[in-house]
Amino acid sequence: MSISVVDADLDRPEHCTGLVAILDEYARLPHIAGRGLPGEVIENLTSRLAKVSGKQILLAVDGEKVVGVAVCFEAFSTFAGRPLLNIHDLAVTGECRGQGVGTMLLDAVAQRARELGCCRVTLEVDTDNPGAKKLYERSGFVMTQEFWKKELAD
């Protein structure tokens, strides 16, 4: 396996297909959603993402095959007065978990954040995902506060 991390090019069909496939596989995990992405999301995700400003999407690729993704969005820390980068999704295909792909993606995200002048990288992790928690701790992340959310109806 010769894995590298590249910027996603949402004009390349293989990048789009790989990104959606990894996120769909990730969503199917019992501690995430327990089911795949809805068909409407699969159909429209990459075209909608292409329109979003401040996105940073990194792909771990083995040759042409996408084996991991980091979908990040730029935000701003008012307390630091500088941008930050939030990892919204970090996922590695099952066949490549435990082989350092997640660490490679996190290192690439941190490097990108430095290039953007960010003060920090943030992320959320599900309470039922101990493997991810260990990965984040090994990569220097610390839990700082509880995350709350409110779902909005369509």
DSSP string, 111-147: HHHHHTT-S-EEE---TT-HHHHHHHHHTT----S--
Domains, the chain, in order of start with CATH, read 3-138 (3.40.630.30)
Nearest CA among 131, 124, 129, 135 for reference residue 102:
135
9-18, 52-61, 140-149: least confidently modelled range: 140-149
Binned at pLDDT 50, 70 and 90, residue 147 comes out as confident
6-10, 72-76, 101-105, 125-129: least confidently modelled range: 125-129
Whether this prediction's pTM lies above 0.95 is answered by: no
Q: Please, are residues 91 and 71 in contact by the beta-carbon 8 Å criterion?
A: no
Average pLDDT, the chain: 94
- CA distances 59 to 4, 10, 11, Å, are 8, 11, 14
Give the tens place of pLDDT for each residue, 91-106: 999 999 999 999 999 9
Judged against a pLDDT cut of 70, whether residue 136 lies above it is answered with: yes
Specify the higher pLDDT residue, 120 or 150: 120
Average pLDDT over residues 118-123: 95
DSSP string, 79-109: TTTEEEEEEEEEEE-GGGTTTTHHHHHHHHH
Residue 49 carries which side chain, given as an amino acid letter? L
* Rounded distance between C-alpha atoms, residue 105 and residue 130, angstroms: 18
Binned at pLDDT 50, 70 and 90, residue 1 comes out as low
60-64, 113-117, 131-135: least confidently modelled range: 131-135
